[in-house]
């Protein structure tokens, strides 16, 4: 938790605004938003300028009611964020290794890859979707946004958030 969750500020992050719009307690992790989508929005907020942060706020209503369960949403968001980060060319060797494994796992979950990447081949069959959605995918997406942000402008980060929103909404039943 970021410490701001207890205090309502005049300049909320987009997730805090969503929590208010949804009638939830003031938090940057609203229950009505998919956890990976929420991680993407928080990372974009953290890596944007003050003006870029304000530009994310009008997107708040689009985040509501995106919390559908299932591997597809999480994997689709991770694949999108990691693909963007890999295309940025701003990766260290460790980041490249981790994000490539994250990408293989996401593609595996989407049915495009035979075997998940990295350690996922061990924990995925045991811990399953809730663990992936809540912990693993959120970390992969947040790291990918942070890597992307090194070479991206506020406009490009906002565009990535919009692409993630579109991917999440388009796969909602």
Angle between helices 71-88 and 137-149 (to 10 degrees): 20
pLDDT of residue 2: 43
Burial class (CB in 10 A: 0-12, 13-18, 19+), 51: exposed
Cα 142 to Cα 78: distance, rounded to the nearest angstrom: 9
Which pLDDT band, with edges at 50, 70 and 90, does 114 fall under?
confident
Other residues' Cβ atoms within 10 Å of the Cβ of residue 124: 18
Question: Angle at CA 82, nearest 5°, toward 76 and 85?
Answer: 145
Region 11-28 average pLDDT: 93
Model's pTM, two decimal places?
A: 0.90
On the question of pLDDT at 58 being above 90, the answer is yes
- Start-to-end C-alpha separation, the chain: 31
On the question of pLDDT at 7 being above 60, the answer is no
Question: Angle at CA 67, nearest 5°, toward 37 and 18?
Answer: 65
Which pLDDT band, with edges at 50, 70 and 90, does 121 fall under?
confident
Percent of the chain whose predicted confidence (pLDDT) is above 70: 92
For 91, the domain range is 4-170
- Residue 15 near residue 27 (C-beta atoms within 8 A): yes
Region 38-48 average pLDDT: 97
For the chain, the average pLDDT equals 90
- Looking at per-residue pLDDT, the higher value among 169 and 158 belongs to 158
| Cβ-Cβ contacts under 8 Å for 76 (sequence gap 6 or more) | 106, 110, 167, 168, 171
Number of domains in the chain: 1
Which pLDDT band, with edges at 50, 70 and 90, does 24 fall under?
very high
On the question of pLDDT at 111 being above 80, the answer is yes
Region 137-143 average pLDDT: 97
pLDDT of residue 113: 79
Cα 82 to Cα 28: distance, rounded to the nearest angstrom: 22
pLDDT of residue 5: 45
On the question of pLDDT at 76 being above 50, the answer is yes
pLDDT of residue 6: 53
pLDDT of residue 125: 86
Other residues' Cβ atoms within 10 Å of the Cβ of residue 54: 13
């Amino acid at each position: 938790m970021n410490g701001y969750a207890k205090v309502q500020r005049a300049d909320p992050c987009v997730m805090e605004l969503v929590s208010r719009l949804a009638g939830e307690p003031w938090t940057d992790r609203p229950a009505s938003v998919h956890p990976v989508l929420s991680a993407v929005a928080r990372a974009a907020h953290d890596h944007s300028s003050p003006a870029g942060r304000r530009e994310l706020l009008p997107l708040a209503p689009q985040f509501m009611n995106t919390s559908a369960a299932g591997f597809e949403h999480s994997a689709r968001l991770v694949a999108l964020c990691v693909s963007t980060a890999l295309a940025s060319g701003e990766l260290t060797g460790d980041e490249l290794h981790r994000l490539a494994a994250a990408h293989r796992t996401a593609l595996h979950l989407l049915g495009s890859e035979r075997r998940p990447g990295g350690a996922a081949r061990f924990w995925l069959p045991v811990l399953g979707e809730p663990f992936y959605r809540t912990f693993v995918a959120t970390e992969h997406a947040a790291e990918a946004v942070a890597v992307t942000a090194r070479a991206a402008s506020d406009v490009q980060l906002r565009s990535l958030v919009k692409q993630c929103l579109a991917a999440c909404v388009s796969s909602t039943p």
